[in-house]
Amino acid sequence: MRESSQTNGSLNGEMARDLRALPMFQRLSEATIRELNRQARWLDVREGATIVLPGDLLDKVFVVTRGEFWFFAYTEEGKVVSLRESSVGSFIGEAALVGGFTANFAVEASADSTVAVIKPAAILDLFCQDRELVLSLLRSAIDREQVLIEQVVELTTLDVSQRIRSELMRLCRKHARHDGSASIHPIPTHSDIACRIGTYREAVSRTMSHLQYAGIIIREDDRLLVPDVTKLGS
């Protein structure tokens, strides 16, 4: 993970912001969408910047409208462990709706991103008016639970090489081409991959070198080409 730094984004950027563009909000009433947009502060977050640090009081809810964020935790020995990602349409900091919680994790932008920042009170007021908003939050929580379960299963059943291939497959799905290949951009660092799958950078370097030697992955300028994604699973 890159060195943590506070966000240096700008509020109310030049691009139009509208929460109604998110699929998860399609069923909300027009009145609810208008009020959420009115209450939202828009924050542009640069890649590598953090919006939550360990020890922060969770007193606001973020809705990701552009880009992607990663959740990280720190062991007592100082090792960084990647927990999950939050992409467009995800909520971050839902614990603020209950109140009194402090973060035991960090949230970092893995790409230039935009979030809507909404006070918990505004969301709680709307719960009584639009049940679809409650369902949207529940769907987000369920999706996150499924991702965490998959992560635990991989950690307990797959060896390091298999976990690296699984992570590359996940990236390939996000950067897939119609011909069965994938072009991953930007290329994740070996340290980033190691953090995400719970291993050491050296182990990732060895496996990536093997995959390159076998022609399964090809490093080309600022992207990682996978000519045949199915070979990653073999």
Instruction: Collapse the DSSP code of 125 into the 3-class scheme (helix H, G, I; strand E, B; otherwise coil) and give the result.
Output: helix
- Whether residue 108 contacts residue 63, with contact meaning beta carbons closer than 8 Å, is answered with no
Whether 152 and 164 map to the same domain: the answer is no
Whether 127 and 180 map to the same domain: the answer is no
What is d(CA 195, CA 201) in angstroms, rounded to the nearest whole number? Answer: 8
Whether 177 and 78 map to the same domain: the answer is no
Mean pLDDT of 214-229: 92
Whether 145 and 49 map to the same domain: the answer is yes
Number of domains in the chain: 2
- Whether residue 61 contacts residue 20, with contact meaning beta carbons closer than 8 Å, is answered with no
Whether 148 and 169 map to the same domain: the answer is no
- pLDDT tens per residue across span 3-41: 333 443 333 343 347 898 888 888 999 999 999 999 999
Q: Which residue has the higher pLDDT, 74 or 90?
A: 90
Q: Is residue 5 situated within a structural domain?
A: no
Note down the domain range covering 223.
158-233
Q: In percent, how much of the chain has pLDDT > 90?
A: 54
CATH number where 221 lies: 1.10.10.10
The model carries a pTM of 0.76
Q: Is residue 127 situated within a structural domain?
A: yes
pLDDT of residue 205: 94
Mean pLDDT of 37-48: 93
Whether 34 and 150 map to the same domain: the answer is yes
Angle between helices 131-157 and 160-174 (to 10 degrees): 140
CATH number where 35 lies: 2.60.120.10
Whether 25 and 140 map to the same domain: the answer is yes
pLDDT of residue 36: 94
The mean of the pLDDT values for the chain is: 86
Q: Is residue 8 situated within a structural domain?
A: no
Could you say which of 135, 156, 177 is where a domain stops?
156
Could you say which of 140, 156, 172 is where a domain stops?
156
What is d(CA 134, CA 126) in angstroms, rounded to the nearest whole number? Answer: 9
What is d(CA 218, CA 210) in angstroms, rounded to the nearest whole number? Answer: 11
Whether 127 and 187 map to the same domain: the answer is no
Mean pLDDT of 131-138: 91
- Amino acid letter, 1: M
Could you say which of 156, 183, 210 is where a domain stops?
156
67 pLDDT above the threshold of 60: yes
Q: How many CB atoms lie within 10 A of CB 19?
A: 20
pLDDT of residue 80: 77
Q: Is residue 9 situated within a structural domain?
A: no
What is d(CA 19, CA 34) in angstroms, rounded to the nearest whole number? Answer: 9
